[in-house]
């Protein structure tokens, strides 16, 4: 019995084990691999998703589609609300969340020289905390602040401002742009630097991975779809069927926290055999 069946690990169906073997075989040759990660990987750290049956927005209603325009119209109101609500229940859940085995395995795939860039839709900082380096947080990071004019970003714990002079303004050169949370709002353009990096890296990809993402939100969803159109192998890791599933070269129908560590373990075994 392989060691990964011990310690109460879930027993996987044979087709899932086959898919893990196929993914490891494809990745162990070290193709330039780019991944898109979605809410599914954060969900395994106890962070509720926005969409789906138990989604926060499904239960509580979606934020207004013109959320960003409302911010532009009245940034002072947003800042006042933030000062009151910054420790709401969702923020506390995020504060208490820790990276899971999926996050760690992705960081290991990076160290192995396989995963060259990770585009994440998650704002929760867990990829950074897992040690990931080449990372685009396409929807921002909740623990950073950003100037809406020049796009400069600063960790929240290094950010200081005068609460009597709201909204805070950018101090870089003569920018003077309004500062907001780095998290991208509804209706807000994706920051140019994040978009450019995602496009450049996706174009370089020889293999693309889609992990825990329903691939419904653009522009993030465009990257795996482009890979499909360009006949690049797509590995999907998701316990749920998505719109990518029928086009994926390899579908690992399992949670990322289960599948990714097994893929990494198998890559290491294959590399030992080759060496």
Question: In degrees, to the nearest 5, what angle opens at C-alpha 265 toward C-alphas 261 and 266?
Answer: 120
Structure token digits, residue 206: 């020889």
Q: Is 146 helix (H, G, I), strand (E, B) or coil?
A: strand
**What's the closest the beta carbon of residue 151 comes to Zn ion, in angstroms?**
7
* Residue 23: cis peptide before it, omega within 30 degrees of 0: no
In this complex, which beta carbon is closest to Zn ion, that of residue 114 or of residue 147? 147
In this complex, which beta carbon is closest to Zn ion, that of residue 112 or of residue 190? 190
Residue whose C-alpha is closest to residue 116's, from 128, 102, 130, 133? 133
Interacting residues toward Zn ion by CB under 5 A: 147, 149-150, 152, 170, 172, 175, 177
131-170 b/e with 16+ CB inside 10 Å = b? Answer: ebeebbbbbbbbbbbbbbeeebbbeeeeeeeeeeebbbeb
Catalytic residues: 139
Helix or strand holding residue 126 (H, E): helix 126-129
Pairing of strands 115-120, 144-147: unpaired
Residue 133's φ and ψ, nearest 5 degrees, are: -110, -50
In this complex, which beta carbon is closest to Zn ion, that of residue 150 or of residue 241? 150
In this complex, which beta carbon is closest to Zn ion, that of residue 119 or of residue 170? 170
In this complex, which beta carbon is closest to Zn ion, that of residue 149 or of residue 265? 149
Structure token digits, residue 84: 């009151």
| Calpha distance 151→149 (Å, rounded) | 6
Q: 256 and 41 in contact (C-beta within 8 Å)? A: yes
18-51 b/e with 16+ CB inside 10 Å = b? Answer: ebbebbbebbbeebbbbbbbbbbbbbbbebbbee
């Amino acid at each position: 019995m392989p060691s990964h069946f011990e310690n109460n690990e879930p027993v996987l169906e044979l087709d899932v084990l086959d898919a893990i073997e196929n993914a490891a075989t494809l990745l162990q040759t070290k193709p330039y691999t780019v991944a898109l990660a979605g809410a599914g990987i954060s969900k395994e750290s106890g962070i509720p998703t926005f969409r789906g049956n138990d989604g926060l927005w499904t239960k509580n209603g979606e934020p207004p589609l013109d959320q960003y325009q409302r911010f532009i119209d009245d940034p002072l109101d947003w800042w006042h609300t933030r000062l009151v609500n910054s420790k709401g229940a969702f923020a506390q859940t995020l504060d208490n969340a820790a990276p899971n085995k999926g996050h760690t395995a992705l960081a290991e795939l990076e160290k192995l020289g396989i995963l060259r860039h990770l585009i994440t839709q998650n704002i929760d900082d867990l990829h950074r905390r897992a040690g990931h380096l080449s990372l685009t947080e396409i929807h921002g990071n909740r623990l950073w602040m950003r100037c809406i004019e020049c796009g400069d970003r600063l960790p929240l714990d290094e950010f200081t401002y005068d609460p009597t002079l709201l909204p805070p303004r950018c101090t870089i050169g003569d920018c003077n742009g309004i500062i907001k949370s780095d998290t991208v709002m509804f209706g807000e353009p994706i920051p140019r630097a994040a978009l450019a990096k995602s496009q450049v890296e996706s174009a370089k990809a020889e293999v693309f991975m889609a992990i825990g993402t329903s691939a419904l939100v653009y522009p993030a969803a465009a990257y795996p779809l482009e890979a499909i159109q360009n006949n690049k192998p797509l590995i999907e890791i998701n316990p749920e069927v998505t719109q990518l599933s029928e086009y994926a070269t390899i579908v690992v129908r399992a949670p990322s926290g289960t599948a990714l560590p097994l893929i990494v373990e198998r890559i290491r075994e294959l590399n030992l055999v080759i060496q």
